[in-house]
Amino acid sequence: MTVRQVLLRKGSEVYAIHPEATVLEALRKLAEHDIGALLVMEGERLLGIFSERDYARKLVLLGRFSRDTRVGEVMTQDPITIPPEADLPQAMRLMTEHRVRHLPVVEGGKVVGVVSIGDVVKAIISEQEVLIGELSRYVMENR
């Protein structure tokens, strides 16, 4: 299964925020959409990603305030991206190697979606369930 197939199942809606927005605005948006990360974009240009981890490590632990801090100051710059034709093991490897939970999906220089670790794990489990079912049927038919 490819990243594109995951996006077709889950949808390709992208939640983004401008780098000049406050962290408080970003937190509200995360809560509103029940997500763990926002892409930080200026128009169609991907600048970074802001996650709950960024909030915890770069604000809370440093005693900064959400109302006074701009997303661009604390976002993760140059996020790791993945093309839609990549397969799920590639996505898992990238997430594991770079210790990230969200990958912007970029095609032709444009963001076309985002996959999370949860999306990838869910798709892999689904794929394995299908394979196990097929193998079970094969074994039962060839006894």
Domain of residue 81, CATH code: 3.10.580.10
Q: Tell me the residue range of the domain where 39 lies.
A: 3-141
User: For the chain, how many structural domains are there in total?
Assistant: 1
Query: What pLDDT, on a 0 to 100 scale, did the predictor assign at position 20?
Result: 97
pTM for the whole structure: 0.85
The mean pLDDT value for 28-32 works out to 97
Supply the pLDDT for residue 48: 97
Check: CB of residue 49 under 8 Å from CB of residue 105.
Answer: no
Least-confidence region, from 11-25, 48-62, 88-102: 48-62
Q: What is the pLDDT of residue 103?
A: 97
Residue of 95, 10, 7, 12 lying closest to 53 (CA atoms):
95
Q: What percent of the chain has pLDDT over 70?
A: 100
| 29: confidence class by pLDDT, cuts 50, 70, 90 | very high
Please state, in angstroms and rounded to a whole number, the distance separating the CA atoms of residues 69 and 74. 8
47-64 tens-digit pLDDT: 999 999 999 888 887 888
Check: CB of residue 3 under 8 Å from CB of residue 86.
Answer: yes
